[in-house]
């Protein structure tokens, strides 16, 4: 009995290395196959919505989707079985996505049309970084994340102000232009304001009266200055990160001689050679 | 008599704490209710302009709007009564907005349709920062304000140049394209130029002749370079603010040892420990 | 005779102070009147192209335009007479604009329709900076000019590369999309590419075939990265200007003690107190 | 015999100087003629696709194109003959472009319509920098290249995230809007998302339902923040390059006195005058 258990254990161990490991050849190969299948699956779901293709190849596409879904299901079950703490995996970010990637297909048995929700499989692409495990890239994406994180609050405050402005501008445009020009309601006016301030400018709604066009021109020039703000925020954060290693921010103090003028990436005090603390 | 007066005083004191205070539980709760009512009110006014909704629920919406208006009116009166210097409040930024938030509804009794102006209530959202009173956020918005303030002049000079250019470009396009392409007048040409230079690009008016399209292409490439300018101005200000605390600008000199190489945020001389003057 | 000459001299002197001076009250007042007339004149020419207004008030507008033109002509002649070196003024930037501002109106006697060219009067607005003479603003516009000047070359090299790319992309789109989608020729394809890369996006021409839309999506994502380049160039120049006074660029060397670590805005050596040379 | 060989050698030498040299007057003149011919050729190919011009002057244009093609062919052959290592040239970037510039015309004998591919001649413009050989410009383009190179990885990581988002957003919009609004398939939804996120905004497809417009507004505001990211990345790199020579990054240490506070472009120790190592 112990022997059999041990066999199962070895099997579990092997599965775990293949599924979670990125160091062995087998683990890496499985990851690449997985990525390929995710890409294939996302493309198939997309193509199935294109009328010309769907009419001709719907059956073949459906079979492929089911095959990939079954594969993903087995993979999901094996991931739960092989890991020590299955609960932790199930409720992790990747665990939830892995489940969401297979659920819609099974739901489509009862609710036809649900299969299209399988497109959330696209989120599994995020795993690429884990798989590739190139330190340079994960460093880059960490830097990206840091800069965005640091500027998040400022940008939120900024968007809050912009949103209040859009309500006011949208209402003014609704009053000035009226229903003939497509400004059928205040929410429509707000939609137009956002389309204009972000410089997207579809042109599905556009002011027709001279006064409306004058206000629109003012809004665009305002948007000109406004678009500079989030860019400025993010750029300043990037510049800070990029310049960090070259600056003397005075955050490091030598424990021995108490000198402060150390570079941020300095390891030893330039006065007495004592090792400096990491921040 | 004194007792009764005192009662009124106590009542006034209580009201003031609720309306203006943000430290007591009651004061905070009132603020949250107020924010919720502003949001509800703005949404109601918006929805009342959507044809489908207005036809069905106009009466109900009107009743809600009146209820909220009466609430805001009582609040406004209480704010005047409870504060020591009512004149100062009435003519303050928030005081004027609070008045404008209730006026249109009463005007609508005499001038139907004025009720839509109640949308200015959206401006009351600015109070959120006062209410939340999160030091971090008010710090962020102060930084935002500083950077925008500092770049305001440069941006105005820049917009002045851009406006002169739009007059010239707009006239050229009016002459080149003519009325068939929608360039019906010079102001229309200027409108098109602003739509193009800001990269909004509605497409309601667009050049049709080869020469017009050639000039338009030049204008777009010009706009390419031009859009960089306000961004550059604002970003440089942000970068300055972000890097300020980390730089050695030489503005601080130790009164005792005359050493100059101090960080801008340094409080004590790193040579002799003497307190440094604030700039 | 000498007396009369002297009278004429005094008159010339007076005129010069009024026309060119910005320090006397009379000179300033004249400048403000001038600015007002330029603004009025530009507005009149604009309005004369608006059909509804032109039909009703063409005569009145024409009379006003002629009155202003005569005023500008007298001003131009007086400017030439009153100055010592008239040739220098005539061929200066402002001199040429002043002439161009009156010429079209006289040409319109022989060539009807030339009067519209009077819109070049808008260029006379540049004089505002000379008139206002606010040191802060002229400092700002000098900074703007410096940053744009410094980034001009880099932006030209960049635009050269972009233009070559637009030729290639425009041709590919012409081949892929063809005449049905509006891509009637390679120049049209290049026009579309510029409209797309600059994120203007009129929508007068847009790809219809799946392949064309795929390439268009690639071009847009490319444009995403590309729009960052001129912004980056200009911003770096602004940042340089903004941070200049706070940096230690090592351009200053003390003549006495040869120490180099001086701030760019330092006036005295922080080692020995010797005055530092200006750069 | 030797004499004749020598004559051929001299001829080869002369040709090489004319074709590859940029220092002699003859070499420079040839380069300018070449640039002019490339420009002419590209313009001719463009014009030949414009219907009105093609119908009238197709024959003349064709003759010119053939003449230029023959000239380019002779030039290509001479380039191969005159150089020491012809293989290296043939497979170099410029060598391949030079071949591609003449091939389509000869192919058009067998496959009519291939002549249009001659537009790749536009790539020969890149040679301008080699020809002009202005150190300032090649320095500028090197700086541009460096900054773009350094930010390439970060931008790729960023675009990867954006692409995953477009798949999700595009699918949501396909489900919400449906075929009536032009969202005929998921790929179409993704195309719309890219058009919107990049702020191009053609308006050929735009949301019609209130929910769709609400989501579109969210996407635009998201795009607002997102467009800041590549700009931030590139700008930080530019700023780094621009500020590099002015910073004290602590990478240089004097071998004699071990002082560290040297400027990045310092050549000698400012303490003891010892030559500093290059990094």
**What pLDDT is stored for residue C70 in this prediction?**
94
Residue B197 sits in the same domain as residue B150? yes
CB contact under 8 A, A201 and D206: no
CB contact under 8 A, C231 and D235: yes
Residue B171 sits in the same domain as residue B225? yes
Q: Which residue do the tokens 């970003």 mark?
A: B235
Q: What is the average pLDDT across B204-208?
A: 89
What is the torsional sign of CA A100, A103, A107, A112? positive
Residue A200 sits in the same domain as residue A237? yes
The residue among A52, A37, A60 whose CA lies nearest residue A118 is A37
Res. A215: pLDDT tops 90: yes
Q: What is the mean pLDDT of chain B?
A: 81
Res. A279: pLDDT tops 60: no
Question: Which of A235, A249, A261 to mutate: most C Cβ within 10 Å?
Answer: A235
**Top-confidence residue, A95 or C278:** A95
Residue B9 sits in the same domain as residue B124? yes
CB contact under 8 A, C249 and D248: no
Q: pLDDT digits over D235-271, tens only?
A: 887 777 665 544 444 456 666 666 555 545 455 554 5
Measure B39 CA to nearest chain A CA, in Å.
Answer: 11
Residues of C in contact with A239 (CB under 8 A): 239
CA–CA gap between residue A268 and residue B8 (Å, rounded): 69
Res. A29: pLDDT tops 80: yes
Tokens found for residue A240 = 């800070």
Residue C224 located in a structural domain: yes
Res. B260: pLDDT tops 80: no
Res. C78: pLDDT tops 80: yes
The SS3 call for residue C83 is: coil
CATH code of the domain covering residue A68: 1.20.120
**What pLDDT is stored for residue C96 in this prediction?**
92
Residue B201 located in a structural domain: yes
The residue among A137, A69, C197, A39 whose CA lies nearest residue D167 is A39
Residue A279 located in a structural domain: no
Q: What is the mean pLDDT of chain C?
A: 81
**What pLDDT is stored for residue D271 in this prediction?**
52
Res. B264: pLDDT tops 60: no
Residue A126 sits in the same domain as residue A10? yes
One-letter-per-residue 3-state SS of C118-172: HHHHHHHHHHHHHHHCCHHHHHHHHHHHHHHHHHHHHHHHHHHHHHHHHHHHHHH
Residue C7 sits in the same domain as residue C94? yes
Do B148 and A229 form a contact (C-beta atoms < 8 A)? yes
Residue B117 located in a structural domain: yes
**What pLDDT is stored for residue B133 in this prediction?**
60
C-alpha torsion angle, residues C7, C8, C9, C12 (rounded to 10):
130
CB atoms closer than 10 angstroms to residue B64:
16
Q: pLDDT digits over C217-237, tens only?
A: 999 988 877 878 888 888 887
Tokens found for residue C171 = 């041709």
Q: What is the average pLDDT across C35-53?
A: 90
Q: What is the mean pLDDT of chain A?
A: 81
Residue B19 sits in the same domain as residue B114? yes
Do D207 and D215 form a contact (C-beta atoms < 8 A)? yes
Q: What is the ipTM of this complex?
A: 0.81
Task: Say how many domains are in chain D.
Answer: 2
CB contact under 8 A, C203 and B200: no
CB contact under 8 A, D203 and B203: yes
The last residue of a domain, from among B98, B133, B168 = B133
Residues of B in contact with A249 (CB under 8 A): 245-246, 263
Residues of D in contact with B199 (CB under 8 A): 199
Measure A87 CA to nearest chain D CA, in Å.
Answer: 27
**What pLDDT is stored for residue D246 in this prediction?**
44
Measure A67 CA to nearest chain C CA, in Å.
Answer: 28
Q: pLDDT digits over B217-238, tens only?
A: 999 988 877 878 888 888 887 7
CA–CA gap between residue D179 and residue B43 (Å, rounded): 30
- CB-nearest to D199 from B199, B231, B239 is B199
Of A37-41, A271-275, B273-277, D244-248, which gets the smallest average pLDDT? D244-248
CB contact under 8 A, A243 and D239: yes
Q: What is the DSSP string of chain A?
A: -HHHHHHHHHHHHHHHHHHH-SSSHHHHHHHHHHHHHHHHHHHHHHHHHSHHHHHHHHHHHHHHHHHHHHHHHHHHHHHHHHSS-HHHHHTSHHHHHHHHHHHHHHHHHHSTTGGGGGGGGGGGGGHHHHHH--HHHHHHHHHHHHHHHHHHHHHHHHHHHHHHHHHHHHHHHHHHH-GGGT--SHHHHHHHHHHHHTT----SS---SHHHHHHHHHHHHHHHHHTHHHHHHHHHHHHHHHHHTT---S----TTT------TT--B-TTT-PBPPP-
**Top-confidence residue, D250 or C186:** C186
Residue of chain D with shortest Cα separation from C207: D204
Residue C78 sits in the same domain as residue C157? no
Residue A55 sits in the same domain as residue A152? no
Helices (H) and strands (E) in chain D, counts: 10, 0
Measure D161 CA to nearest chain A CA, in Å.
Answer: 8
Residue B277 located in a structural domain: no
**What pLDDT is stored for residue B254 in this prediction?**
63
CB contact under 8 A, D200 and A204: no
Residue B51 located in a structural domain: yes
What is the torsional sign of CA A216, A219, A225, A229? negative
Q: Which of A214-218, A236-240, B2-6 shows the highest mean pLDDT?
A: A214-218
Res. A115: pLDDT tops 70: yes
Q: pLDDT digits over B63-83, tens only?
A: 999 999 999 999 999 999 888
Q: What is the pTM of this model?
A: 0.84
**Top-confidence residue, A143 or C223:** C223
The residue among D182, D185, D200, D193 whose CA lies nearest residue D218 is D193
Res. A166: pLDDT tops 60: yes
Residue A272 located in a structural domain: no
The last residue of a domain, from among A100, A133, A166 = A133
CA–CA gap between residue D183 and residue D205 (Å, rounded): 7
In the predicted model, residues of chain D with pLDDT beneath 50 are: 1, 245-250, 263, 265, 270, 279
Do B207 and A207 form a contact (C-beta atoms < 8 A)? no
Q: pLDDT digits over B25-63, tens only?
A: 888 888 888 889 999 999 999 998 888 888 899 899 999
CA–CA gap between residue B220 and residue C159 (Å, rounded): 12
Residue B124 sits in the same domain as residue B152? no
Residues of D in contact with A198 (CB under 8 A): 199, 220-221, 223-224
**What pLDDT is stored for residue B136 in this prediction?**
63
Res. C71: pLDDT tops 80: yes
**What pLDDT is stored for residue A118 in this prediction?**
87
Q: pLDDT digits over D2-33, tens only?
A: 556 678 888 888 888 888 877 788 888 888 88
Question: Which of C49, C195, C196, C203 to mutate: most A Cβ within 10 Å?
Answer: C203
**What pLDDT is stored for residue C2 in this prediction?**
52
CA–CA gap between residue C86 and residue C120 (Å, rounded): 22
Q: What is the average pLDDT across A152-172?
A: 88
Chain-centre distance of CA B228, in angstroms?
Answer: 23
Measure D108 CA to nearest chain C CA, in Å.
Answer: 15
| Domain interval for residue D98 | 2-133
Residue B97 located in a structural domain: yes
CB contact under 8 A, B185 and C51: yes
What is the torsional sign of CA A238, A239, A245, A251? negative
CATH code of the domain covering residue D178: 1.10.287.70
Res. A259: pLDDT tops 70: no
DSSP one-letter code for C198? T
CB atoms closer than 10 angstroms to residue A1:
5
Residue C110 sits in the same domain as residue C30? yes
Residues of B in contact with C193 (CB under 8 A): none
Res. A106: pLDDT tops 50: yes
Residue A13 sits in the same domain as residue A57? yes
**What pLDDT is stored for residue A251 in this prediction?**
55
């Amino acid at each position: 009995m112990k022997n059999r258990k041990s066999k199962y254990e070895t099997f579990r161990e092997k599965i775990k290395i293949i599924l979670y490991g990125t160091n062995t050849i087998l683990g890496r190969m499985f990851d690449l196959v997985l990525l390929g299948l995710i890409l294939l699956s996302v493309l198939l779901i997309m193509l199935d919505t294109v009328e010309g293709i769907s009419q001709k190849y719907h059956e073949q596409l459906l079979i492929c989707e089911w095959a990939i879904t079954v594969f993903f299901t087995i993979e999901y079950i094996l991931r739960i079985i092989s890991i020590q703490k299955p609960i932790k995996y199930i409720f992790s970010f990747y665990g939830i996505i892995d489940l969401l990637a297979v659920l819609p297909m099974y739901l489509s048995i009862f609710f036809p049309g649900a299969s299209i929700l399988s497109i959330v499989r696209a989120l599994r692409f995020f795993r690429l970084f884990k798989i590739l495990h190139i330190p340079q890239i994960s460093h880059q994406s960490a830097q990206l994340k840091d800069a965005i994180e640091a500027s998040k609050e400022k940008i939120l405050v900024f968007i809050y102000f912009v949103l209040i402005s859009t309500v006011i501008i949208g209402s003014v445009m609704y009053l000035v232009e009226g229903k003939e020009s497509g400004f059928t309601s205040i929410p429509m006016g707000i939609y137009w304001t956002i389309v204009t301030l972000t410089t997207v400018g579809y042109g599905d709604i556009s002011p027709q009266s001279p006064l409306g066009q004058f206000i629109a021109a003012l809004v665009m020039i305002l948007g000109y200055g406004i678009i500079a703000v989030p860019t400025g925020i993010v750029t300043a954060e990037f510049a800070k990160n990029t310049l960090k290693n070259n600056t003397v921010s005075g955050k490091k103090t030598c424990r021995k001689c108490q000198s402060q003028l150390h570079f941020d990436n300095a390891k030893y005090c330039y006065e007495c050679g004592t090792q400096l603390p990491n921040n």
